[in-house]
Structure 1
Amino acid sequence: MTSMNAAPLSLVIPVFNEQDNIAPLLARVHQALSEYPAPWEILLIDDGSADATVQRITEGQAAYGNHVRLVPLARNFGQTAAMQAGIDLARGDVIATLDGDLQNDPIDIPRMVNRLIAEDLDLVAGWRKNRQDNLWLRKVPSKIANRLIRKITGVTLHDYGCSLKVFRASVIKGVRLYGEMHRFIPAWLATQTAPSRIKEEVVAHHARTAGVSKYGLSRTFRVIIDLISVYFFMRFAARPAHFFGMLGLGFGALGGLTLFYLLILKLLGENIGDRPLFMVGIMLVLISVQILTTGVLSEMLSRTYHEAQDVRSYHLRPSAGEALDAPDWKQPLESSPPTEQTVS
């Protein structure tokens, strides 16, 4: 990597009860970035750990320097909130995210940064092509979820669940993450930039050697629920009436056909007043009216929100070189050591 392919870099690493992994994680990061030609920093976001994680991070600061930044959250908010806190506080023009369990390998980061800049991309996502996880508990559910996410979002990636990602800071800072949306960051990013500017890179993956995994089968069901929200916001955030309109018209058409069928029977002399199908038809029409009304109200709320908050329906792309040559980066990161911050 040459200086032309590098940029000030922030590593955002959420950690929760990872006391045994902090020291080897910091050692591996410093080894991987020992020849990185631009300033860089590490943000370790402690997500309310109940063990000695914060103490280990403090020891790492003393050993390596102030570019190792501790961001202690007030309590356990979850990985998405921790990642958002790190992104908000990151000072690099390029932001890399990875897990703190040593399953992601920092050695891949310089190569991913190089590709991000060389190909003028907004995201290079890691692809754990050779995953070192349990087949039925992790691999199979992950394959099913990734295929479903690709189909619905239209963003073609093999591995949405890999935390190792490299972003252009000017783009990722325009995305707000809530709930458990960290696994859908590429999809959310597609609302800010073209999918063609999102690529993936095969990365190394290691088995966990210390600590306890924070994931389980329950995550699969949360993914499905979150995916519905992602689908709605990607396609209908600025036009919710279209979403509810399709549903309402569908129910209305079905109800109308049902009642029209019963009308034909009535004209032929049959009694339809005591048929359950008659009530079904009426209920379908009422449901259609309610959904269409909800769509109109949602459209009004959406317009009010966009006008009151001055939220634009578009995003400008920084001109070439603007993000990488920001004037705040004339001095190394170490020249202005950060203070510890508590995010509540």
Structure 2
Amino acid sequence: MDISLVIPLLNEEESLQELHDWIAKVMQSKQYKYEIIFIDDGSTDTSWKVIETISTSNKAVKGIRFQKNFGKSQALDAGFDMAQGNVVITMDADLQDNPDEIPALHDLIIKGGYDLISGWKKKRYDNVITKNIPSKLFNAAARKTSGLKLHDFNCGLKAYKKEVIKSIKVSGEMHRYIPVLAKNEGFTKIGEKIVQHQARKYGETKFGIDRFINGFLDLITISFLSKFGKRPMHFFGLLGSLMFLFGVTSAFYIGVLKIYRLSTKVKTILVTDNPWFFIALTAMILGTLLFLAGFIGELIIKTKSHEKHYSIREKLNF
């Protein structure tokens, strides 16, 4: 199969038929073998019924329906798990991503040899105050932290080599950082393409200003995970060992001081009256807890690496 289109959605009943027809037209014009995977992330409107209707007339249309709203990252992860195409393209369901971009994205992966191509909505039709300015600040921070020189990390229109999406795990709200996740897995040929952004035709955006706050928090998380996500003991264990060593050294100092004063018959005080006693005790306790945190982190990675963070209610055409 040439292309898998993975499309997460939430309450997009008005745009789905039009989006499908547009995609199908592009696919047929290029004679691609394709599949369209719609992931209904807990819609409360008739989105799933629309997907069912479309799938009866086009067997290339497949559907995944979540039990409830789990989030875009979980929807993408479910779609990636099912995708079979040599090239996997993600796009939003609100018609703001242009399906006419698909052939060029496909060629960059197949002919250009890229592992991942990220879209860049250079000219946007969003609100300047609530979306454009925060987006610029967010992308600047992401570039600085990740080392990837991409202009638009949050663009939903991206293309991937199949091996990329089968190697990464998208959870929480990490969909913004899929290029970073791919880089951490060793896929370094990551490019960018300017894509056309279109004004929303139906409904309202499902994302508020809080997504940028969450985005910055996720950026801190992924910065840590990129360095220590697969070896937490290297961080917590080292920090815990240093802390414990400091506590033991402090305790040794207190003991030597006590012995010295006793041997010289200098007036002594109770060990518990020495502030260094509490500093040493606290340091040893914290060091032990940090070491245990690293050990538990290692156990979690070994036992929970394949756990899914969503539940599927039903599927279509799989």
Could you give the per-residue CA deviations for residues 237-290 of structure 1, whole angstroms, max 9, x where no partner exists? 332122114543675688799999999xx99x9x99879787557534542343
Contact 2:17 2:54 in 1 (8 A): yes
- For the structure 1 residues 261 and 137, does the alpha-carbon distance in structure 2 shift closer, same or farther, using more than 3 Å as the test? farther
Contact kept, 8 Å, 1:238 with 1:302, in 2: the verdict is: no
Q: What is the DSSP-based 3-state SS (H/G/I as helix, E as strand, rest coil) of the residue aligned with 2:14?
A: helix
Q: Does 1:292 align with 2:291?
A: yes
Unmatched segments (≥5 aa) in structure 1: 1-6, 310-339
The equivalent residue for 2:27 is 33
- Percent identity between the aligned chains? 34
SS in 1 for 2:184: coil
Distance in 1 (alpha carbons) for counterparts of 2:2 and 2:179: 22
How far is 1:137 from its partner?
1.4
Amino acid at match of 2:67: A
1:136 aligns with 2:110: no
Structure 1 residues 309-320: aligned runs within 5 Å? none
CA offsets, 1:46-70, max 9 Å, x none?
222111212322333355x211223
Letter in 1 for 2:38: L
In the other structure, the counterpart of 1:53 is: 47
Q: Could you tell me whether the CA contact under 8 Å between 2:118 and 2:158 is conserved in 1? A: yes
- Contact 2:164/2:187 (8 A) holds in 1: no
- SS of 1:13's partner is strand
Assess if the C-alpha contact under 8 Å between 2:119 and 2:193 holds in 1. yes
2:240 to 224, 248, 258: 248
SS in 2 for 1:33: helix
Query: Match for residue 14 of structure 1?
Result: 8
Amino acid at match of 1:214: K
- C-alpha separation in 1, matches of 2:112 and 2:279: 57
Q: Which has the larger Rg?
A: 2
Alignment CA distance shift 1:20-1:303 (3 Å): closer
Q: Structure 1 residues 281, 145: CA separation in 2 closer, same or farther (over 3 Å shift)?
A: farther
Map of 1:202 onto structure 2: 194
C-alpha deviation, 1:111, in angstroms: 0.4
* 1:203 to partner: Cα distance: 0.8
Give structure 1 regions of 4+ aligned residues with deviation exceeding 4 angstroms. 249-263, 271-282, 302-306
User: How do residues 312-331 of structure 1 correspond to structure 2 at under 5 angstroms?
Assistant: none
| Distance in 2 between residues matched to 1:137 and 1:82, nearest whole Å | 25
Residue 303 of structure 1: CA displacement? 8.3
- Segment drifting more, 223-232 vs 124-133: 223-232
SS of residue matched to 1:35: helix
What letter is aligned with 1:17? N
Listed as ranges, the gaps of 5+ residues in structure 2 are 261-265, 307-313
Match of residue 179 from structure 1:
172
Amino acid at match of 2:99: P
Counterpart AA for 2:315: Q
Contact 1:73 1:342 in 2 (8 A): no
From 188, 206, 215, the counterpart of 2:207: 215
Q: Pairwise CA RMSD of aligned residues? A: 3.5
Q: Map 1:1-344 to 2 at 5 A.
A: 8-62=2-56, 65-195=58-188, 197-248=189-240, 279=278, 283-284=282-283, 286-299=285-298, 301=299, 305=303, 341=315
Question: Is contact 1:74–1:342 with CA below 8 Å preserved after alignment?
Answer: no
SS of the counterpart of 1:66?
coil
Amino acid aligned to 1:107: D
With normalisation by structure 1, the TM-score equals: 0.74
* Alignment partners' CA distance in 2, 1:153 and 1:114: 26
Contact 2:62 2:315 in 1 (8 A): no
Q: Structure 2 vs 1, CA of residues 260 and 207 (structure 1 numbering), >3 Å: closer, same or farther? A: farther
- Deviation string for 1:215-242 (max 9, x for gaps)? 1122123223333332233222332122
| Structure 1 pair 254–85 and aligned structure 2 pair: CA distance change class (3 A) | same
1:90-124, Cα deviation, whole Å (9 max, x unpaired): 22111101000111111111101101111212111
Q: Is this contact kept in 1: 2:139–2:153, CA < 8 A?
A: yes
C-alpha deviation, 1:179, in angstroms: 2.1
Match of 2:310 in 1: none
